[in-house]
Chain A
């Protein structure tokens, strides 16, 4: 039982490049979330999904897109990376409105 798995663990991008972060959960959770963590700012919600095929915007959605084609996977895309998107990205999943279970993060640097 792996829980929430994020790939890759680290990535360096140049400004303007695109990439996709993958999150997979094996707990059969309905809800999935993407957060970013920046020093002194805690975790901020980017996008979330309450079920397969549905997504919604969180607090800081600009510059990101998401897709949930399968219940167990939630993808986060950066269309044109900017230095302001340098951050640690965490995926989480939960039962409906239940406590969040987090992955170990993807550390992204945009130069």
Chain B
């Protein structure tokens, strides 16, 4: 089935560093979603993107909808220990009809104090 390629798979960074991760698709999307999952909990929506080229921020997080509509990027500035978790991208898998969101395999972030 259709898949989203998310990279990197994992990251170890020092507190205060900036983080970048990305997600690519083989097909065009008209929506990109970014989620964070803490241990033992469900994914929580961070940012939703609806337009190619869109740049949206949520606090220290900034996400961009790629111009090609086949990729998206998430940046975290000045990381802190509570940023630890798994970050997932998601896209609707189609540009029409019912959206059946598909998810990347996640980027596992660990922050070293």
Nearest chain B CB to A69's CB is how many angstroms away?
20
With A97-B98, A99-B33 as contacts: A42 and B42 at CB distance below 8 Å: no
With A97-B98, A99-B33 as contacts: A43 and B45 at CB distance below 8 Å: no
**Cβ-neighbour of A105 out of B42, B98, B99, B105 (below 8 A):** B42
A100 in contact with B100 (CB, 8 Å): no
Cβ of A41 under 8 Å from chain B: yes
B98 in contact with A45 (CB, 8 Å): no
Output the nearest chain B residue to A103 by Cβ-Cβ distance: B42
Q: Main SS of chain A's interface residues?
A: strand
Nearest chain A CB to B57's CB is how many angstroms away?
17
Of residues 1 to 22 in B, which have CB atoms within 8 Å of A's CB atoms?
A: 1, 4, 6
Of residues 37 to 53 in A, which have CB atoms within 8 Å of B's CB atoms?
A: 40-45, 48, 50
Of residues 6 to 60 in A, which have CB atoms within 8 Å of B's CB atoms?
A: 31, 33, 35, 40-45, 48, 50, 56, 58-59
Mask of A79-111 contacts with B, CB within 8 angstroms, 1/0:
000000000001010000101111111000000
Nearest chain B CB to A70's CB is how many angstroms away?
20
What range describes how many residues of B lie at the interface? 20 to 34
**Cβ-neighbour of B100 out of A42, A58, A90 (below 8 A):** A58
With A59-B1, A99-B48 as contacts: A104 and B42 at CB distance below 8 Å: yes
**Contact residues in B for A101 (Cβ distance below 8 Å):** 45
Output the nearest chain A residue to B99 by Cβ-Cβ distance: A97
Nearest chain A CB to B93's CB is how many angstroms away?
9
Interface residues of B (CB under 8 A from A): 1, 4, 6, 31, 33, 35, 40-45, 48, 88, 90, 92, 98-106
Interface residues of A (CB under 8 A from B): 4, 31, 33, 35, 40-45, 48, 50, 56, 58-59, 90, 92, 97, 99-105
